[in-house]
Copies of this chain bind each other. A is one copy, B any other.
Amino acid sequence: MAAARKNSPYELFYWPGIPGRGEYVRLALEEAGAPYVDVARERDTGMEEMMALMEGEGTKHLSFAPPFLRDGRILVGQVAAILLYLGPRLGLTPKAEAGALWTHQIQLTITDLVAEAHDVHHPISVGLYYEDQKKEAARRADDFRGQRIPKFLDWFELVMEANGATKEKPHLVGKSLTYADLSLFHTVDGLKFAFPKTTGRLMKNRPLVSSLHASVKKRPKIAAYMKSDRRQPFSDGIFRHYPELDK
């Protein structure tokens, strides 16, 4: 499916400085070659525009938190809802309802994993520093590494198996790329950054998920994006590398 031609660029609103949850939207836009502005990074007044939309004065569809996307009169927040909106426009989701719904369901399960990956270093409060919840983080990390990452990765592997995925066609849904593939790629990438030992070990026994990760990374538009300065490296966002939390 080809991306629809579009005159005015999509506007993505997200905190500058980290890939964060905004990255799931960026990857879809980049893969589709869709025109977009990363407002808070690229416009001089970007942060002010974002804060104004967040403070709610005159914002009809106020988001609880970034990222959110503006497309003309549409303003939509929550990563999974943004991708639900963009999917058909970017040719990154099946056209039939059942396939589109299934792609969305997978995305929502990725959303759950992403929230858990964040909560490992912030098990008590997003308002406190990691240093103020290190003891609790160590306990939660044990569980996340030992129970949760394997359980999620097993599910993605099963989903790919049930889809008849192969090394050559490593997709979660159908025989072509969807936004769920891009999102799983980035999530595995984040886990590799945050928990290199654990993830390296676990990926050895998840051949289909490993193939998906390797294959998305090599896609021409994704590879070019990863080398560009539009891509921000992992640091202190959702996926964080604290050596003491990995084993």
Given A124-B143, A139-B136, A143-B127, check contact A81 B104 (CB 8 Å): yes
Asked if A74 and B101 sit within 8 Å, CB to CB, the answer is yes
Is the C-beta of A56 less than 8 angstroms from some C-beta in chain B? yes
The CA of A119 and the CA of B105, in the complex, are separated in Å by 22
A interface bracket (residues with beta carbon within 8 Å of B): 35 or more
Is the C-beta of A80 less than 8 angstroms from some C-beta in chain B? yes
Chain A interface secondary structure, helix, strand, loop or mixed?
helix
Q: How far is the CB of A174 from chain B (nearest CB, A)?
A: 12
Interface residues of A in 57-102 (CB under 8 A from B): 59-64, 73-74, 76-78, 80-81, 84-85, 98, 101-102
Is the C-beta of A109 less than 8 angstroms from some C-beta in chain B? yes
Q: How many copies does the complex hold?
A: 2
Asked if B162 and A56 sit within 8 Å, CB to CB, the answer is yes
Given contacts A76-B101, A112-B115, A123-B136, 10 further A-B contacts (CB under 8 A): A60-B162, A61-B105, A76-B102, A76-B105, A81-B105, A81-B108, A123-B124, A124-B136, A125-B147, A136-B136
Q: Which 7 A-B pairs have the closest CB atoms?
A: A125-B143, A78-B108, A81-B105, A64-B109, A124-B139, A78-B105, A136-B136
Binding site for B on A (CB under 8 A): 56, 59-64, 73-74, 76-78, 80-81, 84-85, 98, 101-102, 104-105, 108-109, 112, 115, 119, 123-125, 127-128, 133, 136, 139-140, 143, 147, 152, 155, 158-159, 162
